Structure 1
Amino acid sequence: MRLPFPKLPILRRSASPRAMIDRYSWFELILIYLGVFVFLFFMLSPFIEGFLVSLKPLAQLFSTPYRFWPENGSFEAYRTMWVRIPYFGLYIFNSLLIATVATVIVLVLVVPAAYAFARFKFRGMALVLGAFLAVSMFSGAVLLIPLFRLMRTLGLLNTYWAMIIPGAAFLIPSAIWLLRTYMMRIPPELHEAAYMDGASEFYTFRRVILPIARPGIIVVAIMTFIGAYAQQFIFALTFNSRTEYMPLPVGLFAFFGRQEVIWNELMAASFVGIAPALVIIFYLQRYLVGGLTAGAVK
């Protein structure tokens, strides 16, 4: 005797799949987009204004009433700035070199240190981390005189190292805190499983922890590079007096005359100077997104 097959309920397809995902009301969406617009406006308006200033003739910048959109705008300032600063390309190269070497030094020291602070417990760890946090609150200007005497004693004045070493030293504490927080989120079971399989501490760190921590390392690398690229002014102005080692922030001082400031060329030089750094950051962000995606599906 054949038993009757029970009838299953017919599942009707939702008329709008988006309604199952999008749970915001129209009023909440308006507030979200309005908040994003206000945030982007305050973030991008200085860059937009600076770019428009670089397109204006110098006489038009001081006209009354002030006009936001340039009249007869041109890229003439992007050409004349190279005449005013013949070593402008060298300044950009020096800034990139100093920031890159400082970033490499910071990563070499910070990655194992952050791993140690995240995985091991030892006496005085809280005190050391607190000291790192306290050091990161000091400005470089406070320690200029001791640093100058140290650089002179080591014979590093008027060299790249006079700007690389202090810059890296001030970036290490914040980088340790940032990467330590990321490594603390890595499951400790991975470390224990590698230990049970007979892996050494160094092998576990190199083959297990580093691939998983790659997104966090790239974030630290980006932030360190930005910090090293931006903080070169005070160290270069104090520890260096040679043109061949001068970074970009000090080179921009050529646009500040005794009676006037060449604002259009200054803005043009600023945009040209940050362009290589932006290219490097966007290039690293691609690997950051790739690392996050790979870690999400493992």
Structure 2
Amino acid sequence: MSKSSMIHRYKWYELIGIYAGILLFLTFVLAPFVEGFLVSLKPLSQLFSSPYRFIPENGSFAAYRTMWTSVPGFGWYIFNSFLISGVSTIIVLILVVPAAYAFARFEFRGAGLLLGAFLAVNMFSGAVLLIPLFRLMRSFGLLNTYFAMIVPGVAFLIPSGIWLLRTYMIRIPKELDEAAFVDGASHFYTLRRVILPIAMPGITVVAITTFIGSYAQQFIYALTFNSKTEYMPLPVGLFAYFGRQEVVWNELMAASFVGIAPALVVIFFLQRYLVSGLTAGAVKQ
């Protein structure tokens, strides 16, 4: 069914309601980003003026230049966040892909209980486990290293990754596995050569959510497990714009947009796999 025929199924007032709902949703989603960008263009004198001006008067990109000198080494903070998130994503995918395949294809005692335990992990806040995690990091000598933030992040991101990818792999026909076994393929070969190409959209979703989750949860781990500036991630660098006397809001907003740029670039290049037809022609005729 074509898109035009689907649209013609609705009456004119139903279309107005649909597009109005979409516009309202996008307004609530995009409004904070638009306001944050406009704040980054305003001088500090306009931020608290009365009446408040939504559109900046004599706006400029000066904050995008001064932010680099206000917090020395800000570029290093961005690099640390990108490195920690990238390594965490790779480790999560290496562990999640075979685990999700095992839960999707094999039936073994305690599988449901184990999946429930994985899900229960996400019910605990990272702040609740800071003290035992700190003692664990100290026991393994991981304090003041990148792994002090990578290991806890990976531990909390693996359960959700398994659930997401397992749901996707369940929908892949088991006939593909059976056909591979008839040809003499092992489970590992079937996973690597048959399942992985078909499950790539699901793996991409897990990769994106893992990268974003790791990028967002670094602040509390960095302050608890690190005391060296060279290992600090982006959230700690943004916190430096909160001074004792005032908050440099325009530079803070500018730094926030610059800091999330690497994550947006990664998502932009990965999103095309979400809509690609990798399952086309997978089932033998």
Structure 1's 19 and 109: CA in aligned 2 closer, same or farther, altered over 3 A? closer
In structure 2, the residue matched to 1:209 is: 195
**1:26-105 alignment, distance < 5 Å:** 26-105=12-91
Find the partner of 1:159 among 145, 153, 164.
145
What TM-score do you get using the length of structure 2 for normalisation?
A: 0.96
2:247 is the counterpart of 1:257: no
Distance 2:181 2:49 in 1: 72
2:173 is the counterpart of 1:187: yes
Aligned amino acid, residue 187 of structure 1: P
1:37-82 deviations in whole A, cap 9, x for unaligned? 0010000000000000000110110111111111110111101101
Shift of 1:288: 2.7
Distance 1:110 1:231 in 2: 19
In structure 1, the residue matched to 2:261 is: 275
Q: Relative to structure 2, which stretch is displaced further, 21-30 or 80-89?
A: 21-30
Distance 1:252 1:206 in 2: 41
Q: Is the 8 A contact 2:88 2:153 kept in 1?
A: yes
Q: Is the 8 A contact 2:198 2:278 kept in 1?
A: no
In structure 1, the residue matched to 2:252 is: 266
Runs ≥4 residues deviating over 6 A: none
In structure 2, the residue matched to 1:294 is: 278
1:201-256 deviations in whole A, cap 9, x for unaligned? 11111111111101100110000000000000000010001111110001111110
Aligned amino acid, residue 50 of structure 2: T
Structure 1's 18 and 241: CA in aligned 2 closer, same or farther, altered over 3 A? closer
Aligned amino acid, residue 182 of structure 2: M
Distance 2:205 2:261 in 1: 19
Distance 2:29 2:213 in 1: 18
Superposition CA RMSD, Å: 1.3
Distance 2:106 2:166 in 1: 11
Distance 1:150 1:20 in 2: 57
Distance 1:134 1:262 in 2: 40
In structure 2, the residue matched to 1:6 is: none
1:88-140 deviations in whole A, cap 9, x for unaligned? 10000000000000000000000000000000010011110000010111110
Count of aligned pairs: 280
In structure 2, the residue matched to 1:24 is: 10
2:228 is the counterpart of 1:242: yes
**Which protein has the larger Cα radius of gyration, Structure 1 or Structure 2?**
1
1:145-191 deviations in whole A, cap 9, x for unaligned? 00000101111100000000000110000110010000000011111
Q: Is the 8 A contact 2:67 2:251 kept in 1?
A: yes
Q: Is the 8 A contact 2:103 2:111 kept in 1?
A: yes
Structure 1's 82 and 189: CA in aligned 2 closer, same or farther, altered over 3 A? same
Shift of 1:296: 3.8
In structure 2, the residue matched to 1:233 is: 219
Structure 1's 20 and 164: CA in aligned 2 closer, same or farther, altered over 3 A? closer
Distance 1:38 1:45 in 2: 10
Aligned amino acid, residue 111 of structure 1: V
Aligned amino acid, residue 82 of structure 1: W
Find the partner of 1:171 among 157, 160, 163.
157
Shift of 1:286: 1.9
Aligned amino acid, residue 294 of structure 1: L
Shift of 1:287: 2.7
Shift of 1:289: 2.5
Distance 1:109 1:22 in 2: 47
**1:113-128 alignment, distance < 5 Å:** 113-128=99-114
In structure 2, the residue matched to 1:4 is: none
Aligned amino acid, residue 178 of structure 1: L
What SS does structure 2 have at the residue aligned with 1:295? coil
Distance 1:48 1:297 in 2: 43
Shift of 1:294: 3.1
Distance 1:34 1:45 in 2: 16
In structure 2, the residue matched to 1:5 is: none
**Which segments of 5 or more consecutive residues in structure 2 lack a partner in the other structure?**
none
